[in-house]
């Protein structure tokens, strides 16, 4: 017993001696900020050193905090998960920052954004946004944005109809982002059967996609057709066409259905064609997120083989999408642009 007590005293003494005698590196923020926010050290796994290097120090009132270690404000996890977004239509709409078109104004192609962002009573252009936030985004991050935008396209979009597993929706979002599919549509998720959604499934891909929610398949298809898309539903039937026989260079909306019921009868009736993935095994179906990934990957590969590339945005469209990504980059970017717009308005008066 005495031996154990001695060991405990030695351990405590060693622990006490190991504490730094100098003041900690991080100093407490000013009382108002300290009382209203808690700081935490960012923790995340990265696929490459380049990705890790693209992390930006956050700014509080435009004053950067020390980036060693990286400190960030705690996120409200309830407001950025896929399940939350798919059940809060207004919040999904707010993810998209630049003003959006309502109708197709170019018969040949669909691009959703106008070259303007509203700041109270004035507008700023994509060029002004990039000028304002440019100094606040690292060169590595800006290069990443440019590479992603150069491989983005609206010529192929994805529609998920009636999925009940938000994990599947998250996986679909992640695949769409990875393959350069910018536009994803979600039709009436089945709220009666919701599985717990893990944000690590999507890896935050929803932040960089254009997500549109629809209450009915008919409404969704009508809008997509008005934008120039042909509707291709995945279905096994006598009139089904192999995905390998389709020309994916034509604007196409790929539709995948519910995990158990598949595509609805309404969607099959309203679609322009039915397609399927040829299978050689004993089972006759894929998991819906796997099927969506295969469909999108083949569509992108086919477009590259036919046209030489998948990304097909014009220079103007690329700049607008770059501005959109810059605004989505952080809340401080929006504040910076609002400050720029305020100074601009003052100069014009």
282-299 pLDDT per residue, tens: 987 888 999 999 999 999
Is the predicted pLDDT of residue 17 greater than 60, yes or no? no
Tens-place pLDDT, residues 174-191: 999 999 999 999 997 654
- Using alpha carbons, list the distances in angstroms from residue 132 to 21, 62, 142, 328, 347: 43, 13, 13, 14, 16
At residue 1, the pLDDT reads: 53
Please, which residues have CB within 8 angstroms of residue 118's CB and are 6 or more apart in sequence?
A: 99
DSSP for 57-79, written as a single string: PPEETTEEPPBTTBEEPPP-GGG
The pLDDT value given to residue 26:
40
Span 81-125, pLDDT tens digits: 666 666 666 666 677 889 998 776 655 689 999 999 998 888 999
Residue 64 is predicted with a pLDDT of: 42
Instruction: Give the CATH H-level superfamily of domain 81-114+153-307.
Output: SPOUT methyltransferase, trefoil knot domain (3.40.1280.10)
């Amino acid at each position: 017993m005495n031996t154990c007590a001695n060991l405990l005293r030695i351990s405590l003494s060693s622990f006490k001696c190991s504490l730094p005698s100098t003041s900690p590196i991080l100093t407490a923020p000013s009382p108002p900020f300290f009382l209203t926010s808690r700081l935490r050290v960012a923790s995340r796994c990265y696929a490459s050193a380049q990705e890790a290097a693209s992390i930006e120090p956050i700014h509080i009132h435009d004053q950067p905090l020390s980036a060693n270690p990286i400190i960030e404000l705690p996120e409200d996890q309830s407001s950025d998960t896929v399940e939350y977004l798919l059940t809060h239509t207004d919040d999904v709409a707010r993810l998209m920052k630049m003003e959006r078109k309502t109708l197709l104004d170019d018969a040949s192609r669909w691009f959703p954004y106008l070259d303007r962002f509203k700041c109270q009573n004035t507008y700023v252009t994509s060029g002004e946004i990039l000028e304002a936030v440019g100094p606040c985004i690292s060169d590595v991050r800006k290069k990443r944005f440019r590479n992603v935008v150069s491989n983005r396209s609206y010529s192929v979009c994805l529609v998920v109809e009636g999925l009940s597993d938000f994990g599947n929706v998250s996986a679909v979002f992640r695949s769409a982002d990875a393959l350069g599919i910018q536009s994803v549509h979600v039709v009436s998720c089945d709220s009666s059967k919701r599985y717990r959604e893990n944000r690590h499934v999507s890896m935050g891909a929803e932040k960089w996609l254009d997500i549109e929610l629809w209450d009915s398949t008919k409404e969704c298809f009508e809008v997509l057709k008005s934008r120039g898309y042909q509707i291709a539903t995945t279905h096994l039937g006598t009139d089904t066409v192999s995905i390998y026989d389709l020309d994916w260079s034509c604007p196409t909306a790929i539709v995948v259905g519910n995990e158990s019921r598949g595509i609805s009868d309404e969607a099959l009736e309203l679609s322009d064609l039915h397609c399927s993935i040829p299978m050689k095994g004993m089972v006759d179906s894929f998991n819906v997120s796997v099927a969506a990934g295969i469909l999108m990957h083949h569509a992108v590969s086919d477009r590259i083989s036919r046209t030489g590339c998948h990304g097909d945005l014009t220079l103007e469209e690329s700049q607008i999408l770059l501005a959109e990504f810059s605004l989505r980059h952080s809340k401080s970017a929006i504040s910076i642009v609002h400050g720029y717009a305020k100074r601009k308005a003052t100069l014009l008066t």
